Amino acid sequence: MSMVYDVAIVGAGFGGLAAAAELSKYGKRVAVFEASNELGGSAGKFERGGYRFQSGATVGMGFEEGGVLDQLYESLQLEKPQMTLLNPIMDIHMPDRVIHYYREKVEWYKEIERHFKEAASSIQAFYEEVFRVGSLVDNLLDYRPVFPPKTIRDITQLFPMINPSSIKLLPYLNQTVYDRLKKFNLHKHEGFQTFLNGELMDSVQTSVENCPAFLGYAALQTFHKGAYAVHGGLATVAEQLAGYVKEQGNEVFMRYPIRLIEKKEDRFVLHSKRNSEFEAKQLVLNHSVHNLQDTLSEDLMNQSSIYPEKEEKRDTWGAFIIHAGVEESVFQNTNVLYHQFIDQNHPNDLHDGGQFLMSLSDPQDQQMAPEGKRSLTISTHTNLEQWWEAEEYEQKKQEMTDRLLATVDYYFPGFQANLDLVLPGTPVTFQKWLRRSKGKVGGYAPTGKYSWLNSYSIRSGIPGVYLCGDTVFPGAGTLGVTLSGLTAARELLR
């Protein structure tokens, strides 16, 4: 224990790596500890049978000019990885139509007219509001606010954000997306709501009825700013950030699970495998809030603002996922890499196969699959409890696998017959490999217009201990967790 780090970071997901890179840039002595043998957390990768698979069916966001990751790469003077700009962003396979979700507004409005002709003007007016309000939210996030505010300083930092533009957001802070649809007389338009529910479930983990308007609008407009397929998967970004940290003379420890953190005098002691111990003056915890009680000592946990018994009652999802390899010829008639499927028999079921996303590797990306093949990842939200019933586990896993593969085969005939490799995973898998408690992923699902007030800030309640990741404001997705990591780093640097 001769080395005392300025900051120890637990978890090499996007939040932890963003914090580590930012702190390294300013000369802090940093150590990152990752329990698995892969970087990137839920946006990482693994390799099997000649294929590289993304851990999740993840779209690359924030690389457009001025975007979160664009700014981070520029500040670190890193060259961005090769990537493909998506347009259409994805194809949405609905019960009665296939919608091409275009990035450019003009193309998207034409697609709206093709599919929702009778309500096209209202839907376009709705999207004008989405773009306007989403831009206002982006401007506020540029301040990197600590939210919800926990200290006097947090509150005073909000003052510069109060201006004529931000005041325009007030009506959207106490309404849901469904409430806003009423303004445009779209609240009874089932087809458009089915589409919106799919996009919001993918990005905010909830439906129009439960999604705070400003969060939903920020998510919807983000698709149109620039969505990318990063070559090699988003794990490439994680590898670059980790590389930067090491180039600055800092350390990234792989396969080093932190089993216990305790406080001794003015330092934190981190206990890892084979009785190894590390000391640090401050901490950034990038693992889920759900895992804190399994890591922090009883004394530290008692100081925190996190109550484990409360967490057990909060709504959160798991993920059922399939990684597979397939003959390239199955998708020869489409150049779209991301596909969302909405079950034709159960269009209102937004989980357990009712709605799911499939990402295909770019045929030009030779890191992802053998020649003539494509790797793919299928992911659907799932209720957690069912996967911890041991007697029915294998049967349920097979049934879900069959359901998802059959749905893809319906839209792409020959898909199942040309599968080369099929690897299903459940919340049990996420707990085993990504150390997510009970397989919980994606943070907390919004449950209504004021649910954003229940968010956790980067402050743990423990002096010197900061949080980041999908359970911390602004929430899930690579953009959300990166922002929380950068915010934690900024506060620590103060």
pLDDT number for residue 163: 86
What pLDDT band is residue 347 in, cutting at 50, 70 and 90?
low
Query: Is residue 492 classed exposed, middle or buried when 0-12, 13-18 and 19+ CB atoms within 10 A define those classes?
Result: buried
pLDDT in the model for residue 315: 80
Spatial separation of the C-alpha atoms in residues 190 and 291, rounded to whole Å: 39
Classify residue 233 as left (phi > 0), alpha (psi -120 to 50) or beta.
left
**pLDDT value at residue 435:** 87
User: Average pLDDT of 264-289?
Assistant: 94
Q: 252 by DSSP, 3-state: which? A: strand
Contacts 24+ apart (CB under 8 A), 472-477: 472/15, 472/289, 472/443, 473/147, 473/148, 474/141, 474/147, 474/215, 475/204, 475/215, 475/443, 475/444, 476/204, 476/205, 476/441, 476/442, 476/443, 477/61, 477/203
More confident residue, 347 or 268: 268
Distance (Å, whole) CA 290 – CA 467: 12
Q: What is the pLDDT of residues 399-440, one digit of tens each?
A: 999 999 999 999 999 999 999 999 999 999 999 988 888 999
pLDDT of residue 239: 98
Given a cut of 80, whether residue 98 has pLDDT beyond it is: yes
Q: Which domains does the chain have, with CATH numbers?
A: 4-54+232-312+449-493 (3.50.50.60), 105-219 (no CATH)
Q: In which band, very low, low, confident or very high, does the pLDDT at 56 lie, cut at 50, 70 and 90?
A: confident
Interval 272-292 mean pLDDT = 93
Is pLDDT above 70 for 97? yes
What is the distance between the terminal CA atoms of the chain, rounded to a whole angstrom? 26
Q: Where are the beta strands (DSSP E) in 288-395?
A: 316-327, 338-342, 355-360, 373-382
Confidence of residue 349 (pLDDT cuts 50, 70, 90): confident
In the predicted model, is pLDDT for residue 348 greater than 80? no
Lowest mean pLDDT among 330-334, 420-424, 475-479: 475-479
Q: Kindly report, residue by residue over 203-231, the tens digit of the pLDDT.
A: 999 999 999 999 999 999 999 999 999 99
Q: Which tens digits make up the pLDDT trace of 128-148? A: 999 999 999 988 888 888 988
Q: How sure is the predictor about 37, in pLDDT bands with cuts at 50, 70 and 90?
A: very high
Using one digit for the tens of pLDDT, what is the confidence trace for 366-407? 999 999 999 999 999 999 999 998 889 999 999 999 999 999
If you average pLDDT over residues 318-338, what whole number do you get?
A: 96
- Please say whether the beta carbons of 330 and 81 come within 8 A: no
Q: Is the pLDDT of residue 242 over 80?
A: yes
Query: If we measure between CA atoms, which residue out of 207, 219, 235 comes closest to residue 52?
Result: 235
pLDDT score recorded for residue 344: 65
Residues 84, 362: contact at Cβ < 8 Å?
A: yes
CA-wise closest residue to 350 among 197, 176, 203: 197
> Tens digit of pLDDT for each residue in 193-202?
999 999 999 8
Cα–Cα distance, 264 to 139 (Å, whole number): 41
- Write down how long the chain is: 494
Confidence band, pLDDT 50/70/90 cuts, at residue 358: very high
Encoded amino acid at 426, one letter:
T
Which of 311-320, 410-419, 458-467 has the least mean pLDDT?
Answer: 311-320
CA neighbor of 355 nearest in space, from 399, 401, 407? 407
**Nearest CA-CA partner of 32 in 57, 9, 1:** 9
Q: What is the pLDDT of residue 345?
A: 67
- The answer to whether residues 474 and 291 touch, using CB atoms and an 8 Å cutoff, is no
Residue 248: the pLDDT is: 98
Phi, psi of 248 (to 5 degrees): -85, 10
**Percent of the chain at pLDDT above 90?**
80
* Average pLDDT of the residues of the chain: 93
Residues 281-297: what's their mean pLDDT?
Answer: 93
Using CA atoms, how far apart are residues 66 and 139, in angstroms rounded to an integer? 11
